[in-house]
Amino acid sequence: MTITLECAQEFEGRWLAEVPQMPGVQAYGMTRDAAAEQALAMVYRLLEDARRLGVQRTDTADVFGRESERRIGVAPLKSALS
């Protein structure tokens, strides 16, 4: 699964980051990086919940790899949540 993070600045100045492949995954932040970090944290939480509940997904293998982190352009999970 390739995660695409789309960011846009709204007219009042805040940033919106969303992941089109995962409906409902969107986050706001005062900066682009803050919004992206929140959206990425939501992706990880959703994937972890799916794993814990036993939902089988075969397309999430590269989400946790460095390739995805570079493509998304934000910090890895440990940095995003600390």
Instruction: State the distance between the two ends of the chain, measured CA to CA, in whole angstroms.
Output: 25
Tokens standing for residue 78:
């440990």
Average pLDDT over residues 16-28: 92
The confidence score (pLDDT) of residue 77 equals 40
Q: Which amino acid is at 80?
A: A
Q: What is the pLDDT of residues 38-63, one digit of tens each?
A: 999 999 998 888 888 877 655 544 55
Indicate whether 23 pLDDT > 90. no
The confidence score (pLDDT) of residue 66 equals 43
Contacts of 59-63 with CB under 8 Å at 24 or more apart are 59/1, 60/1, 61/1, 62/1, 62/2, 63/1, 63/3
∠57-62-68 over CA atoms, to 5°? Answer: 130
